[in-house]
Amino acid sequence: MSASETFQILIKGRGGHGGKPHESVDPIVAAANIVTSLQSLVSREVPPLDSAVITVSSIHGGQIHNVIPETATLAGTIRTFTETTRQLVLERFHQIVDGVAKAHLCSAEIEVIDISPAVTNQPEVAEVMRQTAVSLFPDAELDDNYQTMASEDMAFLMQGMPGCYSFVGSANPKLGLDAKHHQPDFNFDEEALKTGVALLIGGASRFLID
Predicted pLDDT at 146: 87
Domain containing 85: what range?
A: 3-116
Last residue of a domain, one of 60, 88, 116: 116
Give pLDDT, residue 73. Answer: 98
- Per-position DSSP letters for 106-151, written without gaps between them: -EEEEEEEEEE------HHHHHHHHHHHHHH-TTS---TT---S--
Instruction: Give one word for 128, left, alpha or beta, with left for phi > 0 and alpha for psi -120 to 50.
Output: alpha
199 and 129 Cβ atoms separated by less than 8 Å = yes
pLDDT at 209: 82
pTM: 0.84
Q: Do 111 and 8 have their domain in common? A: yes
* 83 shares its domain with 136: no
Per-residue pLDDT of 2-15, as tens digits, reads 999 999 999 999 99
Q: 109 and 144: one domain?
A: no
Q: What is the tens place of the pLDDT at every residue in 68-112? A: 999 999 999 999 999 999 999 999 999 999 999 999 999 999 999
Q: 81, 145 in Cβ contact below 8 A?
A: no
pLDDT at 66: 94
86 and 155 inside one domain: no
d(CA 101, CA 149): 28
Identity (one letter) of the amino acid at 54?
I
Please indicate, yes or no, whether residues 167 and 79 belong to a single structural domain of this protein: no
Number of structural domains in the chain: 2
The residues, ordered by sequence, that sit 6+ positions from 108 with a Cβ below 8 Å of its Cβ are 9, 10, 11, 12, 30, 34, 97, 98, 101, 102
Q: Are residues 185 and 86 in the same domain?
A: no
Regions in the chain scoring below 70 on pLDDT: none
Return the pLDDT at 169: 87
CATH code, domain with 48: 3.30.70.360
Q: What is the dihedral sign for C-alpha 196, 197, 201, 204? A: positive
d(CA 56, CA 52): 13
Q: Are 109 and 46 in contact (CB under 8 A)?
A: no
Last residue of a domain, one of 116, 135, 169: 116
